[in-house]
Amino acid sequence: MSHAATQGSAHVEGQQHPIKLYLIIWFWLFVLSTCSYLVDYFHFEGYLRWFLILLFMMVKAGLIVAVFMHMAWERPTLIYAILVPPVAVLVFVGIMVIEANYTLLTRLNFFFPGS
Q: Which residues in this chain contact another protein in the complex, by CB under 8 A?
A: 1, 6, 8-17, 19, 22-23, 25-26, 29-30, 33, 36-37, 39-41, 49-50, 53-54, 56-57, 60-61, 64-65, 67-70, 74-78, 80-82, 85-86, 89, 92-93, 96-97, 99-101, 103-104, 107-108, 111-112
Count of CA atoms in the C-beta half-sphere (13 A) of 28: 15
Length reported for the chain? 115
DSSP string, the chain: --HHHHHHHHHHH-----HHHHHHHHHHHHHHHHHHHHHHHTT--HHHHHHHHHHHHHHHHHHIIIIIT-GGGS-HHHHHHHHSTTHHHHHHHHHHHHHHHHHHHHHHHHHSTT-
What minimum distance in Å lies between the beta carbon of 11 and another protein? 8
What minimum distance in Å lies between the beta carbon of 75 and another protein? 5
Q: Residue 108 or 114: which CB sits closer to another protein?
A: 108
Q: Residue 17 or 114: which CB sits closer to another protein?
A: 17
What minimum distance in Å lies between the beta carbon of 107 and another protein? 5
Q: Residue 75 or 114: which CB sits closer to another protein?
A: 75
